[in-house]
Amino acid sequence: MWVIRFFEEKVDEYFAKGMIHGTTHLAIGQEASAAGVCALLDVEDKITSTHRGHGHCIAKGATADKMMAELFGRTTGYCKGKGGSMHIADVDMGNLGANGIVAGGIPLAVGSALTAHMKKLNYVTVCFFGDGATNEGSFHEAVNLASIWKLPVIFVCENNQYGMSSPVKEMVNVDNLATRAQAYGIPGVVADGNDMIEMMNVTDEAIKRARRGEGPTFIEAKTYRWKGHSKSDTKKYRTLEEEKEWMRKDPIKRFKNDLMKAGFLTKEKAEKLQEEAKKVIEDAVKFADESPMPTLDDLLTDVYA
C-alpha cells in the first residue's frame, strides 16, 4: 500500500512539473481495495483494471520502474511508453490491462473467465471498476452472462462516492450498489474498502466460491479518492469537511495500527517498510528519467490497424 501511495504522490508531483504528459487519475486513499484483493491472487489469476488503475497494477505484481517509465513515455515502460497512465498491461503477471472506457474491462474479464471455464483452467479473474460503471449497459450484460454460466469471475466495485463530479446518491436509487447483484442471482457483498483485512476476507470467500465452480461474486468496496477525478479537477462539488472525514480513515494508517496492536509489526519495522517503499519509487523515477524516448522509427510498431 505504501508503494502504491508513494507512486501516485510522485506521479502527481511530476504531472505538476510538466514531466509527465496527458492526464492521470489517482487512487490515493483507495489502496486497501487493490492490495487486499490482489494479496489473495496467484500469478496465474487475472485482473482487468480501470483508468484509475496504478494501484491494481502494482498490487498484482508489476514493478514500479517499468510503470513509471510507461508514464514518462519511455521505451522501457510496460507498453513501450505508448499506453501511458490509463492503458498499462502486464500480461505476464495476469494484468490484462487498464481501460480508459468506463465499464470497458467488465466484458473482457467475463471473456477471460469464460476461457478458464471452457479450457478447464483453475484461474479466477477479478474485474475492478468504479461506481459509475454499474450504470453502463455492458456491466449488466456481462454480469448476467457470468451468472448464467457460473463463470469464475469476481466483480469488485470500488465505490469512491463519485462518478467524476456526480455523487453516487444522485445517480443510483439504492443505498448499496451490491444490491444489484440480487437481480442476477449472485452474492452481493458490501465491504469497508478502507479495511485491508476485511477486503482480504471477502475476497477469500469469493475466490473459493469461484474455484468451486459456483460462479461470480459482486463486492462493493466503499472507499474514497482523496484527489479529484483527474488532474484538472478542482473538486468544487464536495466539501473540505467531507475530505477530512475520509482522510481520518486512511487505509494505510489503519492497517499499520491493526498490525501493531496485534503484535505483528513494531514501530521500527513499520518505519523501515515505509522507507523501503519510498526508495522503490525514487529508484523508479531515476530509471524512467534515464530511459530512452521512442524514436520516429517506433511510431508504427505495435500498431495493429
Catalytic amino acids? 225, 229, 237
Q: How far apart are CA 56 and CA 66, in angstroms?
A: 15
Locate 19 and state its grid cell: 514531466
Q: How far apart are CA 125 and CA 15, in angstroms?
A: 32
CB 93 within 8 A of CB 105: no
Which of 97, 99, 85 is CA-nearest to residue 25? 85
Which ranges of 128-212 does DSSP label H, i.e. alpha helix?
137-148, 168-171, 196-211
Q: Is 50 helix (H, G, I), strand (E, B) or coil?
A: coil
CB 151 within 8 A of CB 110: yes
**Residue 180 burial class via C-beta count within 10 angstroms: exposed 0-12, middle 13-18, buried 19 and up:** buried
CA distance from start to end of the chain: 38
Which residues have CB under 8 Å from 92's CB, separation 6+?
none
Q: How far apart are CA 102 and CA 164, in angstroms?
A: 11
Residue 222: beta bridge partners?
A: 159, 192
Which of 226, 237, 103, 241 is CA-nearest to residue 170? 237
The beta strands (E) that lie in 224-278 are given as none
Residue 278: CA atoms inside 13 Å, Cβ hemisphere, count? 6
Locate 194 and state its grid cell: 478502507
Which of 141, 180, 138, 145 is CA-nearest to residue 159? 180
